[in-house]
Structure 1
């Protein structure tokens, strides 16, 4: 059987870090994951997914993230149930996190927080809803040759949005095979 979950989203609040009676750290948080389509009103909706992380990973995750942090998690879905104080059976479905990745720098997170964080009008976290910026210097240079010409620098016009590396300004985009993630 396969039970694997990979999610990228933003924390809806700071991680709630607690310790069990035996001293094991456990963190609980909710991840807002945007859907890949819009509703009838043209607004992008999000799913709010409860996640749990254990031990040293929980402490590290709580120390390096905060409300609005963009994170990637990998884990498994777990269901459990318990009887509440009124004697009713409560069913819980959550993601148990095995691995996580911080997907924005501390500076980007602080800038987003200073810009207002969550904006309800476009249902997105992060103020300007821009994609992560492309690196200013290529990570690796592909060997130059007839099938892979040298990249050209064309600085004749500034882009309409300096934060958008893919803004349409009339220039072609030269991408080598080494720049692709797959």
Structure 2
């Protein structure tokens, strides 16, 4: 079973691409997901996970999410590989979101007030 659940904040505004003569849309963004422990300086470390959302969901993402939005995403891990200019094999990964929920649509400075 290939199932992933992530909760985090968008690092920057999502970007949308239109494929196949306007028939398919994909929204892409990076999700910062805090780890559940702190380092020796008392800071949380985060993983930065690339996420893709396809179809109508991509349009919803573009309409409602922006940098700093807090979201829960469930989906699957998609992996791939390619050869770089030097002939080295490189591996890629991204989460393909199948479902998402807006955890908090307020900006961070609004929450602090």
- On whether the aligned pair clears a TM of 0.5, the verdict is yes
Look up the match of 1:3: 2
Please say if 1:16 is aligned against 2:26.
Answer: no
Distance 1:90 1:63 in 2: 33
Number of residue equivalences? 111
Look up the match of 1:53: 53
**TM-score, length-scaled by structure 1:** 0.56
Aligned-pair Cα RMSD in Å: 1.9
* Greater share of residues in strand: 2
| Regions of 4+ moved over 4 Å | none
Per-residue Cα deviation, 1:81-126 (whole angstroms, up to 9, x for no partner): 2345x26443211111000111113xx22xx2xx3xxxxxxxxxx8
Q: Shift of residue 40 of structure 1?
A: 1.0
Structure having the higher Rg? 1
Segments of 5+ residues of structure 2 without an aligned counterpart are none
Segments of 5+ residues of structure 1 without an aligned counterpart are 116-125, 129-162, 164-182
Q: Shift of residue 127 of structure 1?
A: 7.5
Q: Shift of residue 21 of structure 1?
A: 2.9
Per-residue Cα deviation, 1:22-51 (whole angstroms, up to 9, x for no partner): 421011111001111101111111111111
**TM-score, length-scaled by structure 2:** 0.87
